[in-house]
Amino acid sequence: MSAVRIRPENGTIRELNLPKEILEVLQKVVTSPLTTDDIKKLVIKKFAQVSPCCVCGGIPSLEVVYDADGASRVERYCESYVTRVY
């Protein structure tokens, strides 16, 4: 399996600054052993109003937008993935 790599030379990187209150709610849901992965992803989409991390489905903290021949490709990554890769 090939590893996903953030390519800053081809895209624009933006930090997602989610409000503290939303982060607290998301942390409680994501760390709960009673919550399924599908529910975690739905809660992240609803409260953060962005898609989960494209690698692990966690709470995203970074957004990368790539220009794809007139269209935009948006990828979001969580803090743990970014620190592990870089």
Question: Can you give the pTM of this predicted structure?
Answer: 0.79
pLDDT, residue 11, reads 80
pLDDT in tens, the chain (86 residues): 345 566 656 788 899 999 999 999 999 999 999 999 999 999 999 999 999 998 889 999 999 888 878 888 898 999 888 777 76
> Is residue 78 classed exposed, middle or buried when 0-12, 13-18 and 19+ CB atoms within 10 A define those classes?
buried
pLDDT of 86 reads: 65
Tell me, what DSSP letter sits at residue 74? Answer: E
pLDDT given at position 73: 87
CB 64 within 8 A of CB 74: yes
Provide the token pair at 1: 């399996």
